[in-house]
Structure 1
Amino acid sequence: MVESTILEQVDVAAVKARVETVVDYLDRVILGKTDVIRQTIVALLAKGHVLIEDVPGVGKTTLAKSLSDILECRFQRISFTSDLMPSDILGITIFDRETSRFVFQEGPVFTNILLADELNRTTPKTQSAFLEAMEAGQVTIEKTTYPLPEPFLVMATQNPLEFSGTFPLPVSQLDRFLMRIEVGYPDRDYEEKMLVQYRDKRPSDLVEETVPISEVRVWQNAVPKMRVEATLVSYIARLAEKTREHSNIHLGVSPRASLALQRAAQARALLSGRSFCIPDDIQSLVGPVWAHRLILKNQIGIGTQAHHQAVETLQEIVSETPVPV
Structure 2
Amino acid sequence: MEFKNDVEALDGLRDKFSELKKEITRVIYGQDEIITQVMVSLFSRGHVLLIGVPGLAKTLMVTTIAKILGLNYSRIQFTPDLMPSDIIGTEILDKERQFKFIKGPLFANIILADEINRTPPKTQSALLEAMQERAITAAGQRFELESPFFVLATQNPIEQEGTYPLPEAQLDRFMFSVWLDYPKYDDEITIVKNTTSNLTFDLKPVISAKEILYYQDLIRKIPINDNVLNYAVTLAAKTRPGNGMAADVSEQYLKWGAGPRASQYLVVGAKTHAALRGKYSPDIEDVQAVAPSILRHRIIKNYKAEAENISVEQIIEKLV
Which of 239, 254, 260 does residue 255 from structure 1 map onto?
A: 260
Which of 70, 74, 77 does residue 76 from structure 1 map onto?
A: 74
* Aligned residue runs from structure 1 range 138-177, under 5 A: 138-177=135-174
- CA root-mean-square deviation: 1.8
Find the aligned partners of 2:100 and 2:284 in 1 and give their Cα distance: 51
| Greater alpha carbon shift after TM alignment, 206-215 vs 56-65 | 206-215
Match of 2:298 in 1: 293
Where 1:154 maps in the other structure, the secondary structure is strand
| Greater alpha carbon shift after TM alignment, 183-192 vs 49-58 | 183-192
CA drift at 1:299: 4.4
Contact 1:43–1:179 (CA under 8 A) maintained in structure 2: yes
2:268 matches 1:268: no
2:221 matches 1:215: no
- Count of residue correspondences: 305
Match of 1:315 in 2: 317
2:113 matches 1:116: yes
Match of 1:187 in 2: 184
- Structure 1 residues 148-195: Cα deviation after superposition (integer angstroms, max 9, x where no partner): 121111111111111111111111010000000022211111111122
Match of 1:18 in 2: 16
Match of 1:3 in 2: none
Where 1:92 maps in the other structure, the secondary structure is strand
CA drift at 1:52: 0.8
Where 1:29 maps in the other structure, the secondary structure is coil
* Aligned residue runs from structure 1 range 221-232, under 5 A: 221-232=217-228
Quick one: percent identity of the two aligned structures?
35
Contact 2:48–2:176 (CA under 8 A) maintained in structure 1: yes
What stretches of structure 1 move > 6 A for 4+ residues in a row?
A: none
Contact 1:112–1:149 (CA under 8 A) maintained in structure 2: yes
Change in 2 beyond 3 A, CA 1:116/1:253: same
- Structure 1 residues 269-297: Cα deviation after superposition (integer angstroms, max 9, x where no partner): 12112221011110011100111011111
CA drift at 1:28: 2.2
Which of 166, 175, 178 does residue 175 from structure 2 map onto?
A: 178
**Gaps (5+ residues) in structure 1?**
1-5, 319-325
Find the aligned partners of 1:280 and 1:210 in 2 and give their Cα distance: 29
**Gaps (5+ residues) in structure 2?**
241-245
Find the aligned partners of 1:85 and 1:179 in 2 and give their Cα distance: 26
> Counterpart of 2:271 in structure 1: which amino acid?
Q
Which of 232, 236, 242 does residue 232 from structure 2 map onto?
A: 236
Match of 1:323 in 2: none
Where 1:70 maps in the other structure, the secondary structure is helix
Find the aligned partners of 2:39 and 2:212 in 1 and give their Cα distance: 10
Find the aligned partners of 1:52 and 1:180 in 2 and give their Cα distance: 6
Contact 1:54–1:158 (CA under 8 A) maintained in structure 2: yes
> Counterpart of 1:207 in structure 2: which amino acid?
L
Where 2:113 maps in the other structure, the secondary structure is strand
CA drift at 1:210: 2.8
> Counterpart of 2:296 in structure 1: which amino acid?
A
Match of 1:321 in 2: none
Contact 1:240–1:253 (CA under 8 A) maintained in structure 2: yes
CA drift at 1:9: 6.8
> Counterpart of 1:96 in structure 2: which amino acid?
D
Under a length normalisation based on structure 2, what TM-score does the superposition of the two structures give? 0.91
Match of 2:128 in 1: 131
